[in-house]
Amino acid sequence: MEKIIVLDFGGQYKQLIARRVRELGVYCEIHPYTIALSALREMQPKGIILTGGPASVFLPETPTYEEKLFDTKIPILGICYGAQLMAYRCGGVVKTAPVSEYGHAELLVGTDGPADSTVSDASSGQGKEMTLMVGVAEKSACWMSHTDYIAAAPAGFTVTAHTADCPVAAMENPEKGLYAVQFHPEVVHTAEGTKILSNFVKKICGCAGDWEMAGFAQRTIKELKERIGDGRVLLGLSGGVDSSVAAALLSRAVGKQLTCVFVDHGLLRKNEGDEVEKVFGSDGQFELNFVRVDAAERFYLKLAGVTDPEMKRKIIGAEFINVFEEEAKKIGTVDFLAQGTIYPDVVESGTGSGGAVIKSHHNVGGLPEHVDFKEIVEPLRSLFKDEVRKVGLELGLPRELVYRQPFPGPGLGVRIVGDVTAEKVRIVQEADYIFREELDRAGIDTGAGQFFAALTNMRSVGVMGDGRTYDYAVALRGVLTSDFMTAEAAEIPWSVLQTCMNRIINEVKGVNRVLYDLTSKPPGTIEME
């Protein structure tokens, strides 16, 4: 299978790069910059992409890679920090910029080079033909995010683009298979980004672009049958998209050999526990063994007085495993422990990419210690969220299940700022239900992102009727995203927000103020913790 490898140097857009490559019909994986060159060669990638990152290439202990990487003849594309690293390792000059560039910039494409005197005539490549930038508009918008810059390209490189403040916005050395851009082609703000990535992946790396999601389900079911045989499988089912699709795949593969344990921790959305049981229980469409555990009081006791969001995540994750282990012991020995892990879980948990730990509650690296099993089964481990949904549709799952609103593992525990109580859970459940109900009535497409209510820890004075109140503020959150790595606030009509506000304050006891969160990701996360 054709493969592009992304080497992660700490860039926030690493997953977005991989998604963009997959959208071009080429399989792509993310690996840490610490991976050995020998291991990299064994993967036989058609090309390698070096991500951006916050470091400076000329500082001690900064992320780097051995110089031999740039002599492998494997096509390499450096992005942002990756471009600077390529220039620095190949003999170019990298400096701290007198003027940093953040956000939109006008990209000027051409091999005539900028007027900046720091770029030598030898490296400007005047009159040479371009490879990476072929077919790209002479002027277009791009997205910059850098303090350092390439002041002089290495010998043998052609400078193929610049901006007003960046003399080397793009450079290439086709003879050695080396290409670099200072800007971010993977983000939607770069107008010609897809064209540039396509040039690298298809024209330079020679990828056919014939990898597709169609048929993934049938291939995976066949592989699961062969791997599991007559073994028994245990899966922790949350009712979310990921675990549901994993359950459906395993059910199609091994039927009643699969037992799904649904731990209802009392932090689900309104009516969700019953909805999960309706879909996966004995009267549902799946052939599997379904076990529901009502453990709300147990979780509330563990969370009493805890306000730190990271601590709440860890407590919820640990207690989930405790409950899961207890149920697993009742079942007896199983051969395989299944998880609905998807690719962002792997990367954001700091596993497999060398990235920072963003989400600590995922099951990646946090397995039950006392469940007797032989192997882990993660049928969705290589997929992004939208790819998981495509598999769900391929399996014939109801569209409303496949496109249900994403929900974090710790549930409302991270949508309640401050300590968690049964009363706060009730408040946020009711407010969230009203919000989603009104969005549905207004015909707003919530499948394009994530929409929910959260409970802030702020209380304020209000007036209801003839009396004063001192109640909580609910924050409504609506974001639009395709990959959940970046997101922008949804522009919900004012009239809809007004209706939501009126209903929540009138119908949900304990709330006297409603806010709408406009924060994008980054700098914020999608959740409210």
- Residue 376: CB atoms within 10 Å: 14
* 28: annotated active-site residue: no
Q: Are 132 and 197 in contact (CB under 8 A)?
A: no
Catalytic residue of the set 28, 80, 166, 205: 80
- Residue 23: CB atoms within 10 Å: 17
Alpha-carbon gap, residue 199 to 135, rounded angstroms: 9
Q: Are 310 and 360 in contact (CB under 8 A)?
A: yes
Pick left, alpha or beta for residue 495 (phi over 0 → left; psi -120 to 50 → alpha; otherwise beta): alpha
What are the φ/ψ torsions at residue 332 (nearest 5 degrees)?
100, -165
The residue type found at 384 is F
Cα–Cα distances in Å, from 335 out to 320, 398, 415? 20, 30, 36
* 31: annotated active-site residue: no
Alpha-carbon gap, residue 58 to 182, rounded angstroms: 16
| Nearest CA-CA partner of 483 in 122, 17, 171, 99 | 17
Q: Are 371 and 328 in contact (CB under 8 A)?
A: yes
62: enclosing H helix or E strand: none
Alpha-carbon gap, residue 288 to 293, rounded angstroms: 16
- With 0-12 / 13-18 / 19 or more C-beta atoms within 10 angstroms meaning exposed / middle / buried, residue 242 is buried
| Nearest CA-CA partner of 224 in 258, 190, 199 | 258
Catalytic residue of the set 2, 101, 172, 186: 186
Cα–Cα distances in Å, from 389 out to 20, 21, 342, 385, 400? 17, 18, 11, 6, 11
* 80: annotated active-site residue: yes
Query: Cα–Cα–Cα angle for 385, 266, 396, nearest 5°?
Result: 35
Catalytic residue of the set 31, 184, 361, 362: 184
The set of catalytic residues is 80, 184, 186
